[in-house]
Amino acid sequence: MPLTHNEIAAFEVKASAYYKMDDDRTRGAGGLGVKVLPSGGKMFVFRYTRNEKRAFIQLGSFPTLSLADARDKAKTFSQMIRDGLDPKGELERQAREQEQAKREHEQQGTIEQLFKSYTEQMKKDGKRTHAAVLLALEKETYPHLNPTTKAKDVTPHDIKIILAHMIRRGADTQSNRVRSYLMAAFNHGLKHDNDPANFIDDAKFGLVLNPVAAIPKQKAAERVGERFLTWAEARQLLDDMERPTSLGLTLRSLIRLCFFTGGQRPYELAASRWASIDWQAKTLTITADISKNGRPHLIPLTDSALRVLREQQEATADSPFIFAHATKQNEPMPMASLSQAVDRYRKRTEMAHFIPRDFRRTCKTLMGELGIAKDLRDRLQNHALNDVSSKHYDRYEYLPEKRRALELWERRLLDLAEDTVVSVNFGGRG
């Protein structure tokens, strides 16, 4: 007769362990039993014949495991035997597979590892923004996703949460930028595992799709390429940057120098060193290693630009960089600091939205209103010149022409000149 719950509970405790089998008339496919221990404990077991010897599989303790559940487990093992399988062998195989899956899961790369792997590759590729990209990814992602989250477990919903919070606080443009960073990071992860260079790395991302792909950009925020400051806004900004505010001197000096040098790229100024200034000749050289187009760029310095630099020199003379990192004197100021400073200033003054990259467009547009020729404006801002003559033969720096243009620009910025249009050209060159 089959065992009952009450019978099992009443089994006599003996000095040695013994078995009581559940008589379910099962033949050749094993059966359920109870092992009674000298301690009084009772253990459900599955007994079967393996290699002509009795084999036992422990199912669980009575009464924690019910008799009904024990019979279900026994039936599963009996079916394995009928299918020609060894239950213990199957359990060992499943345990190995589970252990392998556990190891693979532990080795799967986290989003923290993904972001660092992606930005390290950017650094190897000579992308100067790698540090700023990593900072933006960490700042916007980690408040909503734990850094230890496996990259393959990130869903489109997770990405939407990250971007939605940015859009809610009015950072539409930045949300598009972070979206592109996330898109590129996950694309990097998709290729990472198949790259032989990464084959022996412990971390594998195991990505099968990019969770960012289906999420659209904010189209309204994409229309940012037309913003430039008016004369009044530019003058207000420069006036405000002359006075101590919530922005530190280094940030204010960088903004002023961007304008007084005719709209140079903020990064190129920030990454420049004191050694690049010729105080006697009144010039600053943007060296090839930091120049966006890989060509050195000679900038004449007006009196206003020199005044800004001398003020800055007094404050950061111990650093090799003109605009040093706030806490790391041997590193240049990160561009994220400038973006944050401009955002704080804009909100405080309630000026129409603008970002640091609009400085360059502002200078070029307003210098054009002064009558400064486009070619000269291009050379002032070190735009890549693609005509054959400029690329291969013209090594003239146009220093006198650039200086004349910047002096005119300076007078207008300082409101010292009449609002008349003055033509500044190359004087017969080019």
**pLDDT exceeds 80 at position 299:** yes
Kindly list the domain boundaries of the chain, sorted by start residue.
5-106, 111-222, 231-413
What mean pLDDT comes out for the span 348-363? 88
**pLDDT exceeds 70 at position 417:** no
The superfamily CATH assigns to domain 5-106 is: Integrase, DNA-binding domain (3.30.160.390)
The superfamily CATH assigns to domain 231-413 is: Intergrase catalytic core (1.10.443.10)
Does the bond joining 63 to the residue before it have cis omega, within 30 degrees of 0?
Answer: yes
> Tell me, what's the pLDDT at 390?
45
> pLDDT tens across 393-410, in order?
344 678 999 999 999 999
**Amino acid identity, position 287:** T
Tokens 């992602």 found at = 141
> Tell me, what's the pLDDT at 421?
40
Tell me the pLDDT band of 388, cut-offs 50, 70 and 90.
very low
> Tell me, what's the pLDDT at 424?
45
Give the mean pLDDT of the chain.
Answer: 85
Torsion of CA 137, 138, 144, 148, to 10 degrees: 110
**pLDDT exceeds 70 at position 103:** no
DSSP H/E element including 19: strand 18-21
CB-facing half-sphere around the CA of 63: CA atoms within 13 A? 8
The two domains 5-106 and 111-222 share their CATH topology (first three levels equal): no
Helices in 299-352 by DSSP H: which ranges? 303-316, 335-349
**pLDDT exceeds 90 at position 224:** no
**Amino acid identity, position 207:** L
SS3 state of residue 430? coil
388 or 185, greater pLDDT: 185
> Tell me, what's the pLDDT at 70?
92
What is the rounded distance in angstroms from the CA atom of residue 232 to the CA atom of residue 87? Answer: 84
What is the rounded distance in angstroms from the CA atom of residue 218 to the CA atom of residue 167? Answer: 9
**pLDDT exceeds 90 at position 260:** yes
**Amino acid identity, position 407:** E
> Tell me, what's the pLDDT at 392?
41
* CATH code given to domain 111-222: 1.10.150.130
Query: Which region among 14-18, 110-114, 375-379, 413-417 has the lowest average model confidence (pLDDT)?
Result: 413-417
> pLDDT tens across 146-180, in order?
999 999 999 999 999 999 998 888 777 788 889 99
Tokens 């916007």 found at = 140
Query: Which region among 26-30, 79-83, 367-371 has the lowest average model confidence (pLDDT)?
Result: 26-30
The span from the first CA to the last CA of the chain, in angstroms, equals 109
> pLDDT tens across 372-382, in order?
999 899 999 99
Chain-centroid distance, C-alpha 172: 17
388 or 62, greater pLDDT: 62
